A = this chain, B = another copy of it.
Amino acid sequence: MFIDNLIDKIKKLDNPTVAGLDPKLDYIPAFILEKAFKEYGQNELGAAKAILEFNKGLIDGLYDVVPAVKPQLAYYEMYGIEGLKTMQETVSYARSKGMEVILDAKRNDIGSTAEAYSTAFLGKTKIGNSEKAMFEADALTVSPYFGIDGVEPFIKDCEKYGKGIFILVKTSNKSSGQLQDLKTEAGTPIYEIMANYVNDWGKNTIGKHGYSSIGAVVGATYPKQCAELRVIMQNAYFLVPGYGAQGGGAKDVAPAFNKDGLGAIVNSSRGIMCAYKSAMYSDKYSEEAYSEAARAEALRMKEDINSVIK
C-alpha cells in the first residue's frame, strides 16, 4: 500500500522530503530550452520537451536520495496536450526509478465525478473488457469542499489499488484562513473539523507503520496550527508545502513530525529545481550541472530537516 511504500523509502533514504516538479520555463537551464526550441519549435511542443528533459535530469540526480516527486498538474496543463504528455512521461520515468509519485492536482467534485477523477489518476479506466491506468500516480492531492461524497471514490481506489491521497486541511498560502480558520459555534476552527474528517475517512487504510494512506496537506507556514493538527491526526501522514521559497524553515516544519521521526513529508519545489541558479550553488555548479546542484540542495534540505526532528 502507498503509505507503507512511502515510509519504507523515507526510512531507507533517511529523508522525509519530496521534490516538487512545478516547472516554469524560466527555471529551465538555457541550454535545454534552446535545444528543445531549435528541435521542436518555440511553441508548446518545444516547451513540453524542454520540461521533460529538465525533469528527467532532476529525477536522475534525486532518485537515490529523495523518496518521492510531486508534479503539480497546473504547470503541465498550461502547455496543453503536449504539457500533459510530459506530465505522463515524468510520472512514468520517476516510477521507473523507484520514486513514489504524488500528483498534485487538488481534484474535487460530486461523487460520480470524483470517481472519474480517481479513475484517471489512481485507478483504471474500463474500456470494453479491458482496463488501463491512464495517468498512474501513487498518490493524489484532493480538495474537501464537497465533504465525504467527493472524497470516498478516491478512498475506494486507495483501498483497491494500494494508492494514497492527501486531503487539503490547512494550506500554506496567506489567505488560507479566510475559510480554514473560521471558528464554528463550538469554537472549533474549520481546519480542525477537516482534520477530524481525515481521521475518520482514513481509519480503514492504516498500514504497518501506524499511518494511513489517507493523509493531509498541512502548510509549514503555520507552525502553531500544524502542531495542533499533529495532535489531532495521529495516524495521518502530512504532506507539507511551504518550506524554502514559501518562507518556512526547518523549525517551522518540525511540528509536522511525530516523536517517531515520521508523520510528515516536506516538499521543496523551487529550492531544488532552481538550486543551480541560487547564490548557494551557482559558484560550484554550472547550468549544465543543474542535476548535481539539485541533488546537493536535496541533501542539504534532508540534513536541515533531520536536524530538527531527531
Contact = CB atoms under 8 A, between A and B. Distances in A.
Interface of A: 22, 25, 37, 42-44, 46-47, 72, 74-75, 77-81, 83-85, 88, 104, 106-111, 113-114, 116-117, 119-121, 125, 127-128, 130, 132, 134-135, 143-150, 168, 171-180, 182-185, 187, 190, 193-194, 197, 241, 246
A58 to B, nearest CB: 18
25 contacts: A22-B113, A44-B134, A72-B113, A74-B117, A77-B121, A78-B120, A80-B120, A80-B125, A80-B134, A110-B172, A110-B246, A143-B145, A145-B145, A145-B171, A146-B175, A146-B179, A149-B176, A179-B190, A182-B190, A182-B193, A183-B185, A184-B184, A184-B185, A185-B187, A190-B190
Nearest to A187: B185
Nearest to A133: B80
Contact of A178 (B172, B182, B197, B246): B197
A237 B292 CA distance: 52
B78 A88 contact: no
The oligomer's copy count stands at 2
Given A42-B128, A145-B145, A185-B185, 9 more contacts: A46-B127, A74-B114, A74-B117, A74-B120, A104-B109, A144-B179, A146-B175, A149-B175, A178-B197
A261 to B, nearest CB: 28
Contacts of A83: 134
A110 B171 contact: yes
Contacts of A88: 80-81
A134 B184 contact: no
A267 to B, nearest CB: 12
A160 to B, nearest CB: 15
Contacts of A171: 110, 145-146
A238 to B, nearest CB: 16
Contacts of A183: 184-185
A200 to B, nearest CB: 10
A296 B65 CA distance: 61
A147 B127 contact: no
Contacts of A173: 110-111, 146-147, 149-150
B172 A79 contact: no
B193 A134 contact: no
